[in-house]
Structure 1
Amino acid sequence: MASIRQEVVIHAAPQHIWDVIRDVGAVHERLLPGRVTATRVEGTARFLTFPDGHVIQELLITIDEDSRRLAYSVVAGARPALDYHHASFEVHAEGEHGRLIWTTDVLPDTAAPEIRIRTQVGIAEMKMNIEAASGR
Structure 2
Amino acid sequence: MATVRVETVIEVPAERVWEAVADVGAVHRRLLPGRVLDARIEDDERILTMPDGSQIRELIISVDHDDRRLAYAVVEGQKLPLTYHQASFQVFGEGPRRSRLVWLTDVLPHAMAPAVRARTERGIVEIKNVIEGSPEPR
Please give the TM-score of this superposition, normalised by the length of structure 2.
0.95
Farther-moved stretch of structure 1 (72-81 vs 123-132): 72-81
Q: CA deviation at 1:113?
A: 1.0
Q: CA deviation at 1:63?
A: 0.2
Alpha-carbon distance between aligned partners in 2 of 1:18 and 1:43, rounded to the nearest angstrom? 21
Alpha-carbon distance between aligned partners in 2 of 1:111 and 1:75, rounded to the nearest angstrom? 17
Alpha-carbon distance between aligned partners in 2 of 1:37 and 1:122, rounded to the nearest angstrom? 14
Equivalent pair of 1:12/1:134 in contact (CA under 8 Å): no
Alpha-carbon distance between aligned partners in 1 of 2:118 and 2:32, rounded to the nearest angstrom? 16
Does 2:105 align with 1:109?
Answer: no
Match of 2:90 in 1: 90
Alpha-carbon distance between aligned partners in 1 of 2:114 and 2:135, rounded to the nearest angstrom? 32
Q: Which amino acid aligns with 1:104?
A: T
Question: Please, which runs of 5 or more residues in structure 2 have no aligned partner?
Answer: none
Q: CA deviation at 1:134?
A: 4.2
Q: Percent identity?
A: 52
Which ranges of 4 or more aligned residues in structure 1 deviate by more than 4 Å?
none
> 1:50-61 alignment to 2 at 5 Å?
50-61=50-61
Please give the TM-score of this superposition, normalised by the length of structure 1.
0.97
Alpha-carbon distance between aligned partners in 2 of 1:23 and 1:11, rounded to the nearest angstrom? 19
Provide, for residues 12-36 of structure 1, a one-character-per-residue CA deviation record: whole Å limited to 9, x for no partner: 0100000000000001111101110
Match of 1:122 in 2: 123
Match of 1:11 in 2: 11
Q: Which amino acid aligns with 1:74?
A: V
> 1:5-84 alignment to 2 at 5 Å?
5-84=5-84
Structure 1 residues 10, 134: closer, same or farther in 2, change over 3 A?
farther
Q: Which amino acid aligns with 1:53?
A: G
Q: Which amino acid aligns with 1:116?
A: R
Equivalent pair of 1:16/1:134 in contact (CA under 8 Å): no
- Residue correspondences, number: 135
RMSD: 0.8
Question: Please, which runs of 5 or more residues in structure 1 have no aligned partner?
Answer: none
Alpha-carbon distance between aligned partners in 2 of 1:5 and 1:54, rounded to the nearest angstrom? 26
